[in-house]
């Protein structure tokens, strides 16, 4: 992998699903990192969980959080970002694995440690991740890096993207 590959698209378009389909085709020893998933109660989204590929998990954000760091109705849990996501990314970077980051977005960026580690990971040119489409200085900087291949997921292409990325990865 010679470039960082970041998937962008509207919320709910299938960025995390695409990442999961890609890594299903990879040897588990080839990658490390984390992904996020929704927490649902009675059919309603109430938060997000961080899950690492080494089996750790924590709360990314929740409606019942009293955190001062908020995105919409969700309080962001910087403690778990710093204690779970950041060390997992450091480990992936230090062991030379493909670094899975799902996702680089406003919630995660409340953690300065996370933002710094994302930059370190991108410098390895081994990141496969998702990035929020909205404008934000840090996100815009990442998207404009010459070593980032940004692929936009849309309804028309989302089923083809995993195979396209695997070809780029030469798997």
Domain extent listing, the chain: 4-169
Q: What pLDDT shows up at residue 2?
A: 60
Cβ–Cβ < 8 Å for 150, 8: yes
Q: Which CATH fold topology does 4-169 show?
A: Rossmann fold (3.40.50)
64-80 pLDDT, tens digit per residue, is: 999 999 999 999 999 99
Specify the DSSP class assigned to residue 81: I
Contact residues for 53 (Cβ-Cβ < 8 A; gap 6+): 23, 28, 31, 32, 33, 34, 35, 88, 100
Q: Tokens 């409606």, residue?
A: 63
Alpha-carbon gap, residue 43 to 98, rounded angstroms = 34
Ranges of the chain whose pLDDT falls below 70: 1-2, 171
Q: What pLDDT shows up at residue 170?
A: 82
């Amino acid at each position: 992998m010679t470039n960082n590959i970041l998937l962008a698209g509207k919320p709910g378009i299938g960025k995390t699903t695409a990442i999961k389909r890609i890594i299903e085709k990879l040897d588990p020893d080839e990658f490390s990192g984390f992904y996020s998933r929704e927490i649902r109660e009675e059919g309603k989204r109430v938060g997000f969980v961080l899950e690492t590929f080494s089996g750790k998990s924590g709360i990314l954000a929740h409606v019942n959080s009293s955190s001062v760091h908020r995105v919409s109705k969700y309080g962001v849990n910087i403690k778990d970002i710093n204690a779970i996501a950041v060390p997992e990314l450091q480990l992936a970077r230090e062991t030379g694995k493909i670094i899975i980051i799902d996702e680089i977005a406003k919630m995660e960026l409340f953690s300065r440690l996370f933002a710094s580690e994302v930059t370190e990971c991108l410098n390895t040119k081994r990141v496969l991740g998702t990035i929020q489409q909205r404008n934000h200085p840090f996100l815009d900087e990442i998207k404009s890096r010459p070593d980032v291949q940004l692929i936009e997921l849309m309804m028309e292409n989302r089923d083809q993207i995993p195979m396209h990325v695997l070809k780029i990865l030469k798997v």
